[in-house]
Chains A and B, each alone.
Chain A
Amino acid sequence: DAKTTQPPSMDCAEGRAANLPCNHSTISGNEYVYWYRQIHSQGPQYIIHGLKNNETNEMASLIITEDRKSSTLILPHATLRDTAVYYCILSNFGNEKLTFGTGTRLTIIP
């Protein structure tokens, strides 16, 4: 699977939108972009995934650039409970494995 690059840390004010970037310039045509998050000392939680279209669910929105070389996870109204490490991961459809990097540590500031 191709690699991703994320900033090691970010801050966001409570109530504002948190925009977490991810670069994946070597992504292949059949690789999906997945986002997971891990609150301290807990297991990771799936957030969202997408291939080339923008996606939205009850947790977040995923914006993928037209060339698919980067994406942004958007938490529209960040709360203190959104403080976590966010992982951007690439995976083929049907691939049974995930490869986690070190992610972005997002801190929501009151």
Chain B
Amino acid sequence: DGGITQSPKYLFRKEGQNVTLSCEQNLNHDAMYWYRQDPGQGLRLIYYSQIVNDFQKGDIAEGYSVSREKKESFPLTVTSAQKNPTAFYLCASKGLGGYNEQFFGPGTRLTVL
């Protein structure tokens, strides 16, 4: 089945540690996205990538970093510079251009202790 996988579903880290969230898709989509969601809020865009080896900052990129070495993969690193990292993180992908139908993964809930 085609889709997007995110792992792990739940992640716990100590304050001050960097942590990398995984996102893989087998939909052959060019564009991939990372969103953050806080309780009771909508999604906010962290980073997105439209092509391998290229990515753009979203609305809340500070304290995060990404890479796009392969079309299928778009890992997100939450660095120690991110002041409030505890949140629900969602990855999405879509075909380049055209309509904005994004496919989302199941999300990773990160808790920083």
A binds B: yes
Residues of A bordering B, CB below 8 Å: 32, 34, 41-46, 49, 87, 89, 91, 93-103
Residues of B bordering A, CB below 8 Å: 4, 31, 33, 35, 40-45, 48, 50, 58, 88, 90, 92, 94, 96-107, 109
Contact present for B104 and A43 (CB under 8 Å): yes
Contact present for A32 and B105 (CB under 8 Å): no
Contact present for A32 and B107 (CB under 8 Å): no
Alpha-carbon separation in the docked complex, A87 to B102 (Å): 13
Chain A positions within 8 Å of B107 at CB level:
41-43
A41, chain B: closest CB distance, angstroms: 7
With A87-B42, A102-B40 as given contacts, are A32 and B92 in contact (CB-CB < 8 Å)?
no
Q: Helix, strand, loop or mixed for chain A's interface?
A: loop
Chain B positions within 8 Å of A97 at CB level:
33, 45, 48, 58, 100
Q: Which chain B residue has the least Cβ–Cβ distance from A97?
A: B45
Contact present for A93 and B99 (CB under 8 Å): yes
Contact present for A96 and B50 (CB under 8 Å): yes
With A43-B90, A43-B107, A97-B58 as given contacts, are A49 and B101 in contact (CB-CB < 8 Å)?
yes
Alpha-carbon separation in the docked complex, A75 to B107 (Å): 26
Alpha-carbon separation in the docked complex, A99 to B100 (Å): 11
Alpha-carbon separation in the docked complex, A102 to B43 (Å): 8
Chain B positions within 8 Å of A103 at CB level:
42
Contact present for B90 and A46 (CB under 8 Å): no
Contact present for B106 and A34 (CB under 8 Å): no
